[in-house]
Structure 1
Amino acid sequence: MDYKSELNELILTLVKEQASDLHLGVGAPPIIRINGELITLIQKPVLTSEDTVGFLREMVPERIFNDFVIKQELDFPFEHLGEYRLRGNAYFQKGLVSISLRLVPRPKPFEELNLPRILADISHSKQGLFLVTGPVRQGKSTTLAAMINEINMTERRHIITIEDPVEYIFENEKSIIDQREIGMDTQSFRTALRQSFRQDMDVIMLGEMRDLDTISSAVTAAETGHLVLSTLHTNSAAQTINRIIDSFPAEQQDQVRYQLSASLIGVFSQRLLPTVDGGLVPAYELLLNNTAVANLIRDDRIHEIDIIIETSREHGMIDFNRNLAELVRSGKVTLETAISHSRNPKNLEKML
């Protein structure tokens, strides 16, 4: 098999069919994901162990491939013909190589993504910490990219992104954007974040806050006059704040509560729901920091934050159930879909 030409054809199919992912595994033809559904490319041959290894060698340098054989896990970027960028992951299963590739589209505006315009206002904050949260594959990176794009198109600022791997590619418009990839441009999130203080940055985007050192440095950056955007794999605003505080030793948690109460801008928690027409639409909640929220964080009463969100619509906050109800009323999602994703289904049913 000519792996270069076959890979070229598969990626063009991915783009043409508006698919998000491509899976290459031994014993099956290539499989793509369209609007959340896996579709087998039955016109393609069943892949062998030689094929998956051949595809991977086509996408990564030999030294990276050799390192993969030893570590058995690999995240890697792949750029196709200078036009399309993919995020790849290679791994072993039953002793055989499998590959997952995700097509990374160009940043889109909030309206096209069905995201609230208030995120644009938050993007123009001069300092503070703003987090986009949710499980994996729920569009967090896409939301962050829209926020970076908003800044880039409207303000002259120095933006540094630290990612593993780089996902969206930005071109300088009004802003200067430096994109640093773990393993290629820097050794770790912690190292890159600490060095960014010496690089005259205004905005820093962390692909993920993975450990205590990174979280601590991000909070410090937000306190010292920088806008920090990042993600966490949490399910709600309250859980996000608890996760950050619980990352620290017990003797430091009171200090962290004080720091967060002063530096947090807000938390945007999102899910992607299947629509009635076969697409995907985000459902979300938005917590914005204010005096009441800051007091709850400082006083370790984070469990009361959900009540603040529910009763602060006039202040720009968005309750998850209320957003689900709007999606149902607008005919975008079914009642069954909304209920299955609600954290409080009985309350949602009362709204409808």
Structure 2
Amino acid sequence: MVEKLLKIAICHNANDIHLSEGIPPTLRIGGKMVRLQEAPLSADDIERVMRALTPPRCMVELSKNGNTDFGYNFGENRFRIAVFRQKGGIGMVMRHFRNVMFTLDELQIPQEVRSAMVRERGLFIITGPTGSGKTTTMATLIDHINSSCNKHIITIEDPIEILHSHKLCNISQREIGVDVFTFAEGVRYSMRHDPDVIVVGEMRDVETIRIALRAAETGHLVLGTLHARTASAAITRIIAEFGSDERDFIRMQLSNSLLGVINQVLIPTADGKGVASVMEILMNTPPVASLIRQSKENLILDEIRKGKNLGMVSFEDSLRYRCVNKIVDWREASLYSREPDTFKTRMEKK
């Protein structure tokens, strides 16, 4: 049953497989939930799948915490499998990561971001909600460094989602719960392993952020992800993690070390067969750094709008581009717009 489910997901280019008692297996395809024409799953069906896939350490975590997740290889494909208790039984979600690297051209990454990836030091952040393609964008940036520089890249992930081979770089991939206990420990100890690039799978707590900022200041390129709705909100969230007595120092530290932020979402394509990324790109410039120091993140959007020649892209411009080029339907896109009334007016005129 496990092999059949994974093959179906791969065949249908699904992002996720959902297993819940009482309904058939369900795939997320192009952002939409699609139930398979199969018999409803029983609790025993899901239990068998769970036990066939879940390693012993994760069984212990599930018993203790009620949920666990881990990486799983299936041929050349990789899945992140989340197992959780619900209504006394088991639920599962299996996310499919394709081992097909996009190019920076395909993701329309500007030259300024590419230049940041070969810097000797600094912090670059990728943000967005769950399921927004952060993993794919991060993997693409890592692959770009791996293909163009002779460096040592260390990743700290929970779990490892996309496997990277050694190209020009040496790559060490460490998994939380297997190779290291926490993100903070992973970043701290990685500083002793002669890294050039440190990738933090999720900047989820104050200690991880603190150590990542220190690493970025002391001669390392640090790439990290976190959940934030906009590029400027990512900056606000980082600062808000710290106590009021530290925030002025963190603002100064961040204004000096930040290279840029990509904020993104995924939107169903016009043909209904997939999803397209819409990106807001912020690059740190002297005016942006000044706004960070002055606690004026609300004015950063104006700098993004003025910064096209500096590699910056506003979310609305990125969204309109996808619509004008028929990649996504503008009516669907309007649901994601941050300025929906203005967006609809402009698209209706086209």
TM-score (norm 1): 0.94
Matched, 1:281 2:276: yes
How far apart are the structure 2 equivalents of 1:213 and 1:133? 19
2:92 to 99, 105, 112: 99
Matched, 1:236 2:236: no
Contact 1:56–1:65 under 8 Å retained in 2: no
Task: Tell me by how many angstroms 1:332 deviates.
Answer: 1.6
Judged with a 3 Å threshold, the aligned counterparts in structure 2 of structure 1 residues 345 and 156 are, in CA distance, closer, same or farther, namely same
Compare 45-54 and 106-115 and name the one that shifted more. 106-115
2:336 to 321, 332, 341: 341
Contact 1:114–1:281 under 8 Å retained in 2: no
Matched, 1:45 2:39: yes
Q: Which residue of 2 aligns with 1:218?
A: 212
Judged with a 3 Å threshold, the aligned counterparts in structure 2 of structure 1 residues 234 and 337 are, in CA distance, closer, same or farther, namely same
Q: Which residue of 1 aligns with 2:315?
A: 320
Contact 2:265–2:277 under 8 Å retained in 1: yes
Task: Tell me by how many angstroms 1:113 deviates.
Answer: 4.7
| CA RMSD across the alignment | 1.6
Q: Write out per-residue CA displacement over residues 13-54 of structure 1, whole angstroms, 9 at most, x where no aligned residue.
A: 111111111112211222212111222221x33221111111
1:30 to 11, 25, 33: 25
* Fraction of identical pairs, as percent: 36
Q: Write out per-residue CA displacement over residues 120-169 of structure 1, whole angstroms, 9 at most, x where no aligned residue.
A: 33322221100111111000111000000111111111000001111000
How far apart are the structure 1 equivalents of 2:32 and 2:339? 27
Q: Which residue of 1 aligns with 2:298?
A: 303
The number of residue pairs the alignment matches comes to: 345
Q: What secondary structure does 2:228 align onto?
A: coil
Matched, 1:270 2:264: yes
TM-score (norm 2): 0.94
Q: Which blocks of at least 5 consecutive residues in structure 1 are unaligned? A: 1-5
Q: Which residue of 2 aligns with 1:3?
A: none
1:15 to 10, 23, 34: 10
Contact 1:339–1:348 under 8 Å retained in 2: yes
Q: What secondary structure does 1:341 align onto?
A: coil
Contact 2:110–2:311 under 8 Å retained in 1: no
Q: Which residue of 1 aligns with 2:247?
A: 253
Matched, 1:134 2:128: yes
Q: Which blocks of at least 5 consecutive residues in structure 2 are unaligned? A: none
1:124 to 118, 125, 133: 118
How far apart are the structure 1 equivalents of 2:260 and 2:345? 27
Paired AA for residue 218 in structure 1: A
How far apart are the structure 2 equivalents of 1:318 and 1:312? 7
Paired AA for residue 237 in structure 1: A
Judged with a 3 Å threshold, the aligned counterparts in structure 2 of structure 1 residues 350 and 26 are, in CA distance, closer, same or farther, namely closer
Q: Write out per-residue CA displacement over residues 87-140 of structure 1, whole angstroms, 9 at most, x where no aligned residue.
A: 000011111101110111115123575332434333222211001111110001
Contact 1:76–1:88 under 8 Å retained in 2: yes
Matched, 1:87 2:67: no
Contact 1:322–1:351 under 8 Å retained in 2: no
Q: Write out per-residue CA displacement over residues 185-217 of structure 1, whole angstroms, 9 at most, x where no aligned residue.
A: 001011111001100000011111010000011
Q: Which residue of 1 aligns with 2:286?
A: 291
2:159 to 129, 149, 165: 165
How far apart are the structure 2 equivalents of 1:243 and 1:282? 23
Paired AA for residue 310 in structure 1: R
Paired AA for residue 330 in structure 1: N
